[in-house]
Amino acid sequence: MIEALLFDVFGTVVDWRTSLIRRFERFGRENGVPADWAALADDWRGEYDPAMKAVRDGQRPWTSLEHLHRESLDKLLPRHSLNGLSEAQRQEFVLGWHFLDAWPDTVAGLNRLKKKYIIGTLSNGGVRLLTDMAKFAGLPWDVIFSSDNFRCYKPAAEVYLGAAQLLDTAPQNVMLVAAHNYDLAAARGHGYKTAFVARAGEYGPRQSRDFKAESDWEFVAKDFEDLASQLGT
Amino acid sequence: MIEALLFDVFGTVVDWRTSLIRRFERFGRENGVPADWAALADDWRGEYDPAMKAVRDGQRPWTSLEHLHRESLDKLLPRHSLNGLSEAQRQEFVLGWHFLDAWPDTVAGLNRLKKKYIIGTLSNGGVRLLTDMAKFAGLPWDVIFSSDNFRCYKPAAEVYLGAAQLLDTAPQNVMLVAAHNYDLAAARGHGYKTAFVARAGEYGPRQSRDFKAESDWEFVAKDFEDLASQLGT
């Protein structure tokens, strides 16, 4: 019996790419700074996995995503001829990851699912980032589980098993909802139920994978409203 | 600048005593089991602090409140001539702590405060207990912080400092709201702002303290609606 639905956040719940680009473009207009803002967003996200991997592989001690985001930004700005950004502006850019817009079906779907299940995050984002985002985007989480809680990043086992333990239930009673097949594969490997929701526009023109379910996940849904219907909520 | 309001839960947010007694009485009626249910509730709560103290003082390893509740119940039942309770009934009794009613002003006050601040729990209850309770009582938390997250019990420093760290802010930007002076004193000792809300009926006729603020807490409020008004929300 599924008691809780835990959601991957970046890409699955929120449209980080469009949100960031819109935010950068507004910054560019207001400050008269030209740049290829879409390329900056894509490159920044491109640094995400390698940065976490160094932590996951034990090459460096636990480092929060907030810190990794800042490191990656500082590294990328010269390549985008944006090295003139001030300290305050860099902080504002990093904070942009806290204020991302939900996909159009997200809030309605979550509100339906919340009536029957515990709904929560299972994200590599930080607790503060996820809390700020929920308030900004109106995400009605019952509980927030973050890399911060376990001091490691998905797909490390501790994240999936730690969340089930905090929910005082077996992994079999928890379902991960994600737009990424690798995340679902890890969740299933640790006993979770799995639901795939395609977000084919997540990476824009650079998207190269996760166009469809790559395994026999328990549920495959078009969006959160469809998932809610399939789950009878 | 206060960014987040964290709330003690048992007694401050929910009326555990009336809720438990009502639940026990219903059980007694439905199962033809007579007992002094108010005394059982009071005695059970009486075991709460000594049980946590053994963990806090390092006399035993980390033990969840769920487990402590069950131990205390098993210890008390013979004294109340209730040793005939089955395993399933004992589990149901322990689960009673997940389904407590809010004080009449709680939900309206929290909804007002949530508009301006991050609102969350800072409770010795477990994550699952706090999540179940929020759904049951309609508590609109942004984030849940529990003894489970820090593997220790208030007033241990780790709880107050750990929550501020997860919120990625200084303790000075967090305010604890509690009906218990000892909790506020510990929070202030670790840099928190403090707000006292009197819950003079929490312990029923046995109540012996916390009738009023015993220090110059930043805010002293009649209830959560009054606190919301004082905070301009």
Tell me the average pLDDT across A1-12. Answer: 98
**Residue B60 to residue B44: CA distance in whole angstroms:** 20
Reply yes or no on whether the pLDDT at B35 is more than 90.
Answer: yes
Query: Which residues from chain B sit within 8 angstroms of residue A97, using beta carbons?
Result: none
Query: Which residues from chain B sit within 8 angstroms of residue A64, using beta carbons?
Result: 168
What stretches of chain B adopt beta strand conformation (E)? 4-7, 118-123, 143-146, 174-178, 193-197, 219-221
- For residue B156, what pLDDT is reported? 96
Going by their DSSP bridges, the two strands A219-221 and A193-197 should be labelled as: parallel
- Cβ of A126 within 8 Å of Cβ of B169? The answer is no
| Other beta carbons within 10 Å of B114 | 17
- Cβ of B128 within 8 Å of Cβ of A166? The answer is yes
**A218-233 residue pLDDT tens:** 999 999 999 999 999 9
* Angle between helix A65-76 and helix A127-137 axes, rounded to 10 deg: 80
In percent, the amount of chain A with pLDDT more than 90 equals 99
**Residue A52 to residue A69: CA distance in whole angstroms:** 10
- Cβ of A168 within 8 Å of Cβ of B143? The answer is no
Instruction: Nearest by CB to B168, from A66, A118, A144: name it.
Output: A66
**Residue B156 to residue B154: CA distance in whole angstroms:** 5
Query: Which residues from chain A sit within 8 angstroms of residue B135, using beta carbons?
Result: 118, 142
Instruction: Nearest by CB to A143, from B118, B144, B168: name it.
Output: B144
- Cβ of A126 within 8 Å of Cβ of B168? The answer is yes
- For residue A206, what pLDDT is reported? 86
Structure tokens at A20: 């960031």
- For residue B12, what pLDDT is reported? 98
- For residue B206, what pLDDT is reported? 86
State the average pLDDT for chain B. Answer: 97
Q: What phi and psi, each to the nearest 5 degrees, are found at residue B182?
A: -65, -35
**Residue B15 to residue B203: CA distance in whole angstroms:** 9
- Cβ of A143 within 8 Å of Cβ of B131? The answer is yes
Reply yes or no on whether the pLDDT at A36 is more than 90.
Answer: yes
Going by their DSSP bridges, the two strands B4-7 and A219-221 should be labelled as: unpaired
Read off the pTM: 0.97
- Cβ of B128 within 8 Å of Cβ of A66? The answer is no
Candidates A145, A138, A176; CA nearest to A14 is A138
Reply yes or no on whether the pLDDT at A40 is more than 90.
Answer: yes
Query: Which residues from chain B sit within 8 angstroms of residue A144, using beta carbons?
Result: 143-144
Instruction: Nearest by CB to A167, from B120, B127, B167: name it.
Output: B127
Reply yes or no on whether the pLDDT at A213 is more than 90.
Answer: yes
Q: What phi and psi, each to the nearest 5 degrees, are found at residue B196?
A: -100, 130
Tell me the average pLDDT across B118-123. Answer: 98
Instruction: Nearest by CB to A143, from B127, B166, B169: name it.
Output: B127
Q: Which residue of B has its CA nearest to A126?
A: B166
Specify whether the backbone of A11 is left (phi greater than 0), alpha (psi in -120 to 50) or beta: left
- For residue B108, what pLDDT is reported? 98
Query: Which residues from chain B sit within 8 angstroms of residue A118, using beta carbons?
Result: 131-132, 135
Tell me the average pLDDT across B184-209. Answer: 96
Largest CA distance in chain B: 55
**B143-188 residue pLDDT tens:** 999 999 999 999 999 999 999 999 999 999 999 999 999 999 999 9
**A111-153 residue pLDDT tens:** 999 999 999 999 999 999 999 999 999 999 999 999 999 999 9
Q: What is the ipTM of this complex?
A: 0.96
- For residue B30, what pLDDT is reported? 97
pLDDT band at B23 (very low <50, low <70, confident <90, very high): very high
Radius of gyration of chain A (CA): 18
Reply yes or no on whether the pLDDT at A80 is more than 90.
Answer: yes
Query: Which residues from chain A sit within 8 angstroms of residue B233, using beta carbons?
Result: none
- For residue B84, what pLDDT is reported? 96
